[in-house]
């Protein structure tokens, strides 16, 4: 009986170890990153309380990056900062070719005065952000 218990424990332990070593389809590493916005299509005018679909083209660094979301952060009563967020999953067969991808961004205008969208495009040599600015005139 004691020998059977030891064999059973060894078999269970071996099964757990072998299942943990199966790397097919498992992700080794996942992270989010801010991806550069390449271009945007934003209306020149917006009405208070209306919804708009903005077209945003961003860059994926590889085909192992997938779109996650847009971070939209209003600041004060005249600025809206927008960043494209991608999820990177490490895989051995990633194509390292940068890809441009178009995504829609739904925006509800709550601004009562003119404002500026600031889409994060890059970071300059000094570490300062570079934006694509789009001024919007608010009408009633």
The residue among 111, 104, 114 whose CA lies nearest residue 44 is: 114
Q: Tell me how many helices (H) and strands (E) the chain has.
A: 1, 9
Q: What is the pLDDT of residues 90-132, one digit of tens each?
A: 777 787 888 899 999 999 999 999 999 999 999 999 999 999 9
**Spatial distance between the Cα atoms of 99 and 65, rounded to a whole number of angstroms:** 10
Q: How confident is the model at residue 139 (pLDDT cuts 50, 70, 90)?
A: very high
Q: Which residues of 70-105 are buried (b: 16+ CB within 10 A; e: fewer)?
A: beeeeeeeeebbbbbebebeeeeeeeeeeeebeeeb
Q: What is the pLDDT of residues 7-65, one digit of tens each?
A: 444 445 444 444 443 444 554 678 899 999 999 999 999 999 999 999 999 999 888 88
- Going along the chain from its start, the domains and CATH numbers come out as 27-139 (2.60.40)
Determine the pLDDT at residue 15.
45
The residue among 119, 111, 104, 134 whose CA lies nearest residue 44 is: 134
């Amino acid at each position: 009986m004691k020998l059977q218990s030891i064999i059973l424990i060894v078999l269970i332990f071996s099964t757990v170890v072998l299942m943990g070593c199966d790397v097919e389809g498992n992700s080794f590493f996942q992270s989010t990153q801010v991806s550069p916005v390449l271009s945007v299509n934003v209306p020149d005018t917006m009405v208070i309380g209306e919804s708009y679909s903005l077209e945003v083209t961003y860059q994926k660094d590889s085909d192992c990056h997938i779109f996650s979301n847009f971070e939209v952060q209003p600041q004060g009563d005249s600025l809206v900062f927008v960043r494209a967020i991608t999820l990177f999953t490490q895989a051995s067969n990633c194509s390292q070719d940068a890809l441009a991808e178009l995504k829609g961004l739904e925006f509800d205008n709550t601004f009562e005065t003119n404002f500026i969208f600031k889409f994060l495009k890059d970071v300059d040599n000094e570490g300062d952000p570079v934006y694509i600015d789009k001024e919007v005139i608010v009408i009633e």
